[in-house]
Amino acid sequence: MFLVMSDAYIALADGRVVEARGRVPGRTRGELVFTTAYTGYEESLTDPSYEEQVLTFSYPLIGNYGVRDERFESDRVHPRAAVAREFTEDVVEWLASEDVPAIDHIDTRDLVTSIREEGAMKCGIAVGDDVTPEDAREELAKCKGMSEHVDIGKQVSVDEPELHEGGGVTDVALVDCGAKGSIVSSLTDRGANVHVLPYDTSVSDIEALEPDVLFISNGPGDPANFEQAATLVEAFAGEVPIAGICLGQQVVARALGGTTEKMAFGHRGVNQPVIDVETGKVVMTTQNHGYTVAEPGDQLDVTQRNVNDDTAEGLANDELNVITRQYHPEANPGPHDTLGFFDEVLGMVDHDDTQRRAVADD
């Protein structure tokens, strides 16, 4: 059993310092955000979209069904620290193995209320036998030097191209801005061959690949940090079908004349209702983003909106063969209301042309 306990303090940007129980020692800092998910803690902690953030779980007990690596969305934990009302020993051991500071025995309801009222805020965390409130304040002070426009893509993207074969003839160029593994498997399960490419892939590299679909993935932070991905969208719009999820929607919108903005506390959880503008059908979705599309521009139509705050959840241009979603259709452990998005994406491909090209290549 991993029963080591220690002191812990979290210094908040609103001036408070909150005492907690230390579960994994360390000192760190970042943007304090929360998720409302009551399952899927393994998926959340391995989601690259949480890079450089401190993740607070609003559900009180985290770890009640263990830790299994087949549920991971990437190969490591991405938040800089984890906060909960109570972590089980399984989760504590896992976070300790990855040197991710963790604290519990804290009023997460109060933390979440503060974030909802004041917005996502910077925090400093100090965990250990001899830490003091001042140690947490020192970590918070370091946040002043943290830029909103760092090259964060390098921290979450593949270094070299990877091919995941689905056995079909459709080739998807997935620009990895911090892609979840379930996006890849959702495409390969449908027969697509997925070429996972670095976030800074060049136009010439895409031209050499001759993909049937250009797909911009999810990822952390400000979409303005992913200028090269936007360049790819500009270069291939109208030439190759284009899709995007989460950050990918924001990147596509910026590339095609839209604008994005930072949200007060973002959408993070498994219970976000989304309405289809045309049909009026409402689905439940999983989301994890702190930025949103403010204006879609003249080239994109808003096809879906968030029921709670009316933000854009889906964009499209039928003539350019562009379709995007702000939420995660591939959500694990769920809900699975929107998995059909991947069928729509692959449905944009002219399969006759793809088949002819495959035969010609042979």
In sequence order, the 6+-apart residues with CB closer than 8 A to the CB of 263 are: 289, 290, 291, 292, 311
Residue 30 φ/ψ, nearest 5 degrees: 165, -175
Distance CA 271, CA 322 (A): 26
Distance of CA 305 to CAs 52, 104, 342, Å?
28, 35, 19
Does the annotation place 280 within a ligand binding site? no
Share in percent of the chain as helix, strand, coil (round to 5): 30, 35, 40
Residue 301: both structure tokens together: 């139509």
Q: Check if 328 is active-site.
A: yes
Four-CA torsion 230, 234, 235, 236, nearest 10 degrees: 100
In sequence order, the 6+-apart residues with CB closer than 8 A to the CB of 107 are: 18, 85
Whose tokens are 């210094």? That residue is 11
Does the annotation place 166 within a ligand binding site? no
Does the annotation place 299 within a ligand binding site? no
Q: Check if 149 is active-site.
A: no
The single-letter DSSP state of residue 328 is B
Residue 71: both structure tokens together: 């549920």
Of the candidates 139, 195, 246, 313, the residue annotated as catalytic is 246
Does the annotation place 288 within a ligand binding site? yes
In sequence order, the 6+-apart residues with CB closer than 8 A to the CB of 256 are: 233, 234, 237, 297, 299, 300, 317, 320, 322
Query: What is the Rg, in whole angstroms, of the alpha carbon atoms belonging to the chain?
Result: 21
Does the annotation place 221 within a ligand binding site? yes
The single-letter DSSP state of residue 155 is H
Q: Check if 330 is active-site.
A: yes
Q: How many C-beta atoms surround the C-beta of residue 75 within 10 A?
A: 9
Binding residues: 49, 219, 221, 247, 250, 288, 290-291
Residues with catalytic roles: 246, 328, 330
Binding residues for L-glutamine: 49, 219, 221, 247, 250, 288, 290-291
